[in-house]
């Protein structure tokens, strides 16, 4: 790598090299360049330190932040740089906060205003001397006689030249050299033989804040900045996400965690824990008896049974861990919208690809698959952020035609669901509900449109059932598509890959002119003599196809009979995946399952929600 005579520097914290031009090291930076930096939080100019250098809050990325914003973020915010997320280190002249590293040296804040002789030891100041210098009596009460105005040689400093019109009984605010942390300000003339303060005129165009911590102008500026932040927070509370300002501190609702854990009352969980303990005691007594009473006539069978019983007992104990301390989580969908969906701007929510897998339409009815697809297309999520991929591992033309009918019905069903906030958004289960559908529906057009939609769905079911009846009789030469060519999937074990995009292309919109989520039919290639790995291979094929078409960072895998009964399910998952604090540690979110159409005897224990909710 050629450097052209320049120096190459690097850092163990950042994976990059920096080329330093030796000719530029000695160049004097102009005042215009020094004062051109603007704070990216409040918009004010970056002040200078006492050494004449621009203030730098973050030593890692040098993100431009002024000292007031730096100290406010350390005290009230997340104590990290907004750009590189590195924790702010304490800079000389700034107050300490919780979490700062302990320093062996003296705290510079306690002595940063020390104008006494440098040879004196700081720890030699006694409390008596401290009281005398502050004009206090031994009891700590200020003597009025000591506060009387006296002649002072220290002129009053104004935001310009020295003001001679101010009466002599007014004195400047002088901070004692050993006032604890620079917080005490006494309006008394302070004189010391070892300290002289000559008159110093100030540049009217120069901000007082550049002289460092403790100036009056800095205090006023900080108070003004705090007042503006409080006003902005009040506006956000009243206007919600209609108000957008990049200067908001990170304590507003849009920057708070998107989920939390809810405690479970002990009255509910303790009885179950007692049952677990009782079962463990019984299991212990059982093994005590079994081990101490072996069967000598069939020792091999006895040993085999003991090993199996121990294995089942250990498995049961592991199964009790999540049930002993279950976790209930709650999400904040309003905070998610406030953070990633702002008026007048495109949605910043991450894209999601939903995979639906099916094999044999004769065992998995196409009407059930269609309801699952419709519930996905009608979910409450930005349409350009959702894509539904249906994997037909059986290469059945019946599934292909059923998806074609489903895409046509979705142009009517999706706007109806979003207009009236329908739940659930699978039409078969929505119309089968034994509920008062007029409850909370005050729009006069709802009844009329609901009846029309139910009639449309009944016609849709008739068309799907007609396709199923037609598929019962397969022609000898195989199925033929509408253009006259043979269906490529007539041979299930030997056919090329097939991809068909039904929605999301060619300007296909719903009846109200709105865009629809993408719907893609996929049937992977199969050849004799090659292992296709069943459902796992089908999922791999969907991942490859989705990477080319939509390439969403998040995937949701559902079976063909698993419809989404909560239209905000994707948003619920994003509250964990896109959480600013915990999102980087989360890679998997599992939804609890529910079952409809359970038989009277419940032979598969589908009503037992303990496993699906807690495990």
In the annotated binding site for UDP-alpha-D-glucose, the residues are: 357, 363-364, 393, 534
User: Burial of 31 by CB count in 10 Å (0-12 exposed, 13-18 middle, 19+ buried)?
Assistant: exposed
User: Which residues are paired to 330 by β-bridges?
Assistant: 260
DSSP state letter for 42? T
The count of other CB atoms within 10 Å of the CB of residue 367 is 18
Burial code (b: 16+ CB inside 10 Å, e: under 16) for 51-84 equals eeebbbbbeeeebbbbbbbbbbbbeebbbebbee
Burial code (b: 16+ CB inside 10 Å, e: under 16) for 541-570 equals bbeebbeebbebebebebebbbbbbebbbb
Q: How far apart are CA 91 and CA 71, in angstroms?
A: 9
Cα distances from 286 to residues 145, 289, 309, 313, in angstroms, run 90, 5, 10, 11
- Show binding-site residues for Mn(2+): 535, 559
DSSP, collapsed to helix, strand or coil, labels residue 355 as strand
Q: Phi first, then psi: give them for residue 487, nearest 5 degrees.
A: -65, 125
The count of other CB atoms within 10 Å of the CB of residue 469 is 9
Q: How far apart are CA 596 and CA 598, in angstroms?
A: 6
- Show binding-site residues: 357, 363-364, 393, 534-535, 559
Cα distances from 11 to residues 15, 23, 83, in angstroms, run 7, 22, 18
Count the alpha carbons within 13 Å of 249 in the hemisphere toward its beta carbon: 23
| DSSP per position, 553-572 | SEEEEEETT---S-TTHHHH
């Amino acid at each position: 790598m050629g450097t052209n005579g320049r120096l190459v520097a690097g850092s163990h914290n950042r994976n990059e090299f920096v080329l330093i031009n030796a000719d530029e090291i000695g160049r004097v930076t102009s005042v215009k360049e020094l004062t051109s930096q603007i704070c990216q939080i409040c918009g004010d100019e970056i002040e200078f330190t006492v050494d004449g250098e621009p203030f730098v809050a973050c030593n890692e990325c040098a993100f431009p932040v002024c000292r007031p914003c730096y100290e406010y973020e350390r005290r009230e915010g997340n104590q990290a740089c907004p750009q590189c997320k590195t924790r702010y280190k304490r800079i000389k002249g700034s107050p300490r906060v919780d979490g700062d590293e302990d320093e062996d040296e003296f705290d510079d804040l306690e002595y940063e205003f020390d104008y006494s002789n440098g040879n004196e030891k700081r720890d030699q100041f006694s409390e008596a001397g401290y009281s005398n210098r502050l004009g206090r009596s031994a009891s700590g009460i200020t003597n009025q006689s000591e506060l009387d105005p006296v002649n002072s040689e220290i002129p009053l400093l104004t935001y310009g030249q020295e003001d001679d019109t101010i009466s002599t009984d007014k004195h400047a605010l002088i901070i004692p050299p050993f006032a604890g942390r620079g917080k005490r300000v006494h309006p008394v003339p302070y004189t010391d033989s070892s300290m002289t303060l000559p008159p110093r005129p100030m540049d009217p165009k120069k901000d007082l804040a550049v002289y460092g911590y403790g100036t009056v102008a800095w205090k006023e500026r900080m108070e003004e900045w705090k007042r503006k932040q409080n006003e902005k927070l009040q506006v956000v509370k009243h206007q919600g996400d209609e108000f957008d300002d990049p200067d908001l501190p990170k304590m507003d609702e849009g920057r708070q965690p998107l989920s939390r854990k809810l405690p479970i009352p002990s009255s509910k969980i303790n009885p179950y824990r007692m049952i677990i303990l009782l079962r463990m005691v019984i299991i212990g007594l059982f093994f005590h008896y079994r081990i101490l009473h072996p069967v000598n006539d069939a020792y091999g069978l006895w040993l085999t049974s003991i090993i199996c019983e121990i294995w089942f007992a250990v498995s049961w104990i592991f199964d009790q861990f999540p049930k002993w301390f279950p976790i209930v989580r709650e999400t904040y969908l309003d905070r998610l919208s406030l953070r990633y969906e702002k008026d007048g701007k495109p949605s910043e929510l991450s894209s999601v690809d939903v995979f639906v897998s099916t094999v044999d339409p004769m065992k998995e009815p196409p009407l059930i698959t269609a309801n699952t697809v419709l519930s996905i297309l009608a979910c409450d999520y930005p349409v350009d952020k959702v894509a539904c991929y249906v994997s037909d591992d059986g290469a059945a033309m019946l599934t292909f035609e059923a998806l074609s009918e489903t895409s046509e019905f979705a142009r009517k069903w999706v706007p109806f669901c979003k207009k009236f906030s329908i739940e659930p958004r699978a039409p078969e289960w929505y119309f089968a509900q034994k509920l008062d559908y007029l409850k909370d529906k005050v729009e006069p057009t709802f009844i009329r449109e609901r009846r029309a939609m139910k009639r449309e769905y009944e016609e849709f079911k008739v068309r799907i059932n007609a396709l199923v009846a037609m598929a019962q009789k397969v022609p000898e030469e195989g199925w033929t598509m509408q253009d006259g060519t043979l269906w490529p999937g007539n041979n299930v074990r030997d056919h090329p890959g097939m991809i068909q995009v039904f929605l999301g292309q060619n300007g296909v919109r719903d009846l109200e002119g709105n865009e629809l989520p993408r719907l893609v039919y996929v049937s992977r290639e199969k050849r004799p003599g090659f292992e296709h790995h069943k459902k796992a291979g089908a999922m791999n094929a969907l991942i490859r196809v989705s990477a080319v078409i939509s390439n969403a960072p998040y995937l949701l895998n559902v079976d063909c009979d698993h419809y989404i009964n909560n239209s905000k399910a994707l948003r619920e998952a994003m509250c964990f995946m896109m959480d600013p604090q915990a999102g980087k540690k989360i890679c998997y979110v599992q939804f609890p399952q529910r079952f409809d159409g359970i038989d009277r005897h419940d032979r598969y224990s589908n009503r037992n929600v303990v496993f699906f909710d807690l495990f």
